[in-house]
Amino acid sequence: MHYEADVVTHKGGTWQALRDTAREPGDGDWIMLAQAGRDAQPFNVRGTFSETIADYKKFDVVALNGSSFVARSDAPGACPGSGWQLIASAGRPGKPGPKGERGEKGLPGTKGDRGEAAPVILAWKIDQENFAVTPIMSDASEVPPIELRGLFEQFQIETH
């Protein structure tokens, strides 16, 4: 199976698919890009394009982001660019496959360092006028007062 815009070699020639097809090159689903010949320069597949490689030559083929490009000349520069010809474009993403089985449980990790001790209540600040108490914490953190007026009022209602 070949997809629209795929470029293939067949019987010495180079063909590009005009549409998705399962037919071999030579019928109406294909266009010939280059006829078979004795003195043709073959493509040289160089793998994934890298900006650190400076010695790309004419007819070198590279892959980049799912597409393929052929160098139009020696030292073609950055890809994609005017020194490169797109020969196969990245296809559409496929459908996700079925979810795999759950793997085995891994080994337990190493125990972490002991954390700092939590603050504790050292004393209580009593506000008799407002029927409230405020805890005084060991780490000097501020804690909101605990309002007790409603609790005492409820006690008074229930005990009289």
Condensed to tens digits (0 to 9), the pLDDT of residues 40-83 reads: 688 999 999 999 998 999 999 999 999 999 999 999 999 999 99
Q: What is the DSSP letter of 157?
A: H
Distance from the Cα of residue 79 to its chain's centroid: 22
Residues of the chain scoring pLDDT < 50? none
Tell me which amino acid residue 52 is: T
Q: Quick one: tokens of 130? A: 């407002």
- Residues forming CATH 2.10.10 domain(s) in the chain: 42-92
Which CATH code for domain 42-92? 2.10.10
Is residue 159 classed as helix, strand or coil in its secondary structure? helix
Asked whether the beta carbons of 34 and 40 are under 8 A apart, the reply is yes
